[in-house]
Amino acid sequence: MHVDPGEFGFVDVAVCAPELRVADVEFNTSKLVEAVGATAAERAAVLVLPELAVTGYTAADLFYQSQLLDEVEGSLAELAAATAESNVCVVVGTPWRVNGRLFNCAAVLHGGRLLGMVPKVFLPTTGEYYEERWFASAQHPVGTTSIDWHGVSAPFGRDLLFRATDQSGLVLAVEICEDLWSPQPQSGEASLAGATLICNPSASVELLGKADYRRALVAQQSARCNAAYAYAASGPGESTTDVVFSGHCMVYEDGHHLAESERFRFETEMVVATIDVDRLVHQRLESSTFSRARPREEYRFVEFSLHGERAESVEVEIDEDHEDSMSGSYGLRRPNPALPFVPSRPETNAEHCREIFRIQSTALAKRLRHVGSPRAVIGVSGGLDSTLALLVVVHAFDLLQRPRSEILAVTMPGFGTTERTKTSAVALAEHLGVELRTISIEASVRQHFEDIGHDPAQHDVTFENAQARERTQILMDLANKEGGLVVGTGDLSELALGWCTFNADHMSMYHVNAGVPKTLVRHLVQWCAAEMFEGEVSRVLLDVCETPISPELLPHAEGEITQRTEETIGPYELHDFFLFHVVRHGCSPRKVLWLAERAFAETYEPATVLRWLRVFYARFFSQQFKRSAMPDGPKVGTVALSPRGDWRMPSDASAATWLAELAALAAE
């Protein structure tokens, strides 16, 4: 697929701690220029460098020396020239004299010119810090809004935002080190005024435990601001008279870690991450808190062309040696997991699964208590969804300290039920200690076919749905008879695709899996097998995970499942990927396709991905009427489809715009 750089809102940002010598401006400038060149080679558009990187943060009383400050002006001119050649937007820390005062500033350079100079507001004077000895604060009016830059006026002030005219939504703001650590960071105001990328040139010293605190601070501020945050701290080349600097550089986006440097390296250390500006803009559109807040300050906007002449169509390729960390218009340097709902880090995997399982079981326990602690009635098929739902019911009863024997599990074999799934359902019920009843639906469904005049040899939607509705009728009537509550088993993916029979498995009295997508259902069952249960129960759970996904509504062939869901509607791993990016981030069909092609490059051909994406959009729109009438159920993640909560959509909304875009993509 041919794309323009930034078409999908992706911008590559570099953070760098260059090799440094304190007060050696010439040496430092050479390293800064090298960093600009390296950034251009990485095809990154923005480079953030440390606080006072031109001179070194620890120059101390040397900041009073005119020789040093005179050399700074020449250094910035050289750096500006480097940006003209590379077309990189550079944010670099430097001292700067204005009206007889010295300010700790960040210069923003691009296209050979100084876009603006942003002075530091909060000057620390605690412990090892003594900035007020040398620098003036920008907390109060500084007497000017511009400075002379080689005969040209350049904006000066803490009220500057830098807006890219050729990258929709990208607005840069600068806050310097302590400005972030203050009770009211400048970035909060700047984000409300439109900033989507916060650049922080910093000189944070290293102390035991401070790196973790620094990460948490950057992560939290990026989340509060719904922004990307690029943080570059001074390296170990700074003076070690009393403290040590490590060159801690990192990029976060809306609370999510994207990239981080290795600390304590004397050589230049750079990392690059791809931020998604479109995603940030979408997050803000959805946030009522963000939309209602207003900045207390007026900001001046400085406009510039981020990409310049580099904004040209290029072919997206995959670098075989660096497939997951590609930059610029050729790819991504950010996570793009094929299974976005499944925990990816082993160290947090068990914790995430445990949390989800607790949410489900606590929600059901609360509902059971509210309606007078009835029995739970659940249909079990030996498939993934009903297995997870049964485990949740068992845990809910354990939480309520009620005997598992009060759980009524019902297996209802029909025309397509195989021995494998039936055996799994029976074994689970027996080993979990719940009451099990087996009620065949074949006779009652045949009678129903006779009543409505349907030929049972005609295996159409009537043949399938009659079985699903008969099972739901049995469960509902048993609940009435036993004083019970029917627990639903269908999952989030089935709700998204409408892969459930209206007023059949679509309906229950409480829907414990409503917030869990299919890929996560399998993962949770595997986790339960490893962590929550043991022995025969664990063995059965693992076998369920290996069983093909099927509603088992069509006759089997010699005991083998013939009806495989994913052969009919497409792979759930693709549909869950589509669901995440469409609902969570509001991505366009073109962007979803582009991301999916990358995530599944080793699994599916692009034409296959496009085929199932068209199925996803068609079904997602046409099946909304089922979601509009879905029962209560707990939300467990950031994507949910409850018509009372996260997803309000007319049942008769048209998919024409989205399908037309996909048709155009197919024609390319």
Tens digits of per-residue pLDDT, 302-332? 999 998 744 332 233 333 333 333 333 346 8
Per-residue model confidence (pLDDT) at position 85: 84
- Give me the residue label for tokens 């430092």: 28
Per-residue model confidence (pLDDT) at position 139: 87
The reply to whether 177 belongs to the active site is yes
The reply to whether 225 belongs to the active site is no
Is pLDDT above 50 for 22? yes
**Rounded mean pLDDT, 553-574:** 77
Q: How far apart (Å, rounded) are the C-alpha atoms in residues 501 and 464?
A: 9
Neighbours of 348 (CB within 10 A): 11
3-state helix, strand, coil in the chain (%, to 5): 40, 20, 40
Is pLDDT above 90 for 417? no
N residues, the chain: 668
**Rounded mean pLDDT, 226-231:** 98
Q: Is the dihedral of CA 97, 103, 104, 105 positive or negative?
A: negative
**Rounded mean pLDDT, 444-473:** 95
Is pLDDT above 90 for 255? yes
| One-character DSSP codes across 177-231 | THHHHSSS-HHHHHHHTT--EEEEEE-PBP-TTHHHHHHHHHHHHHHHTTSEEEE
Is pLDDT above 90 for 555? no
Task: Count the alpha carbons within 13 Å of 48 in the hemisphere toward its beta carbon.
Answer: 34
Point out the catalytic residue in the list 7, 42, 51, 470: 51
**Rounded mean pLDDT, 640-662:** 95
Predicted confidence (pLDDT) per residue in 140-187, tens digit: 888 899 999 988 999 999 999 999 999 999 999 999 999 999 999 999
Burial of 123 (0-12, 13-18, 19+ CB in 10 A): buried
**Rounded mean pLDDT, 436-464:** 95
pLDDT level of residue 561 (50, 70, 90 thresholds): low
Query: What is the pairing mode between strands 2-3 and 10-17?
Result: unpaired
User: Helix and strand tally (H, E) in the chain?
Assistant: 21, 22
Per-residue model confidence (pLDDT) at position 331: 64
Q: How far apart (Å, rounded) are the C-alpha atoms in residues 645 and 647?
A: 6
Per-residue model confidence (pLDDT) at position 292: 85
Q: What percent of the chain has pLDDT over 90?
A: 82
Point out the catalytic residue in the list 31, 89, 120, 573: 120
The reply to whether 450 belongs to the active site is no
Per the structure block, which two tokens stand in for 42? 């990485």
Per-residue model confidence (pLDDT) at position 418: 85
Mean of the per-residue pLDDT values of the chain? 91
Instruction: Reduce the secondary structure of 237-259 to three states and give it as a string.
Output: CCCCCCCCECCCEEEEECCEEEE
3-class secondary-structure state, position 322: coil
Beta bridge partners of 148: 153
- Decide yes or no: CATH 3.40.50.2300 for domain 346-667: no
Per the structure block, which two tokens stand in for 295? 């900045």
The CATH 3.60.110.10 portion of the chain extends over 2-318
**Rounded mean pLDDT, 514-519:** 96
Point out the catalytic residue in the list 16, 105, 177, 528: 177
For domain 2-318, give the CATH number.
3.60.110.10
Model confidence, pTM: 0.90
The CATH 3.40.50.620 portion of the chain extends over 346-667
**Rounded mean pLDDT, 628-642:** 95
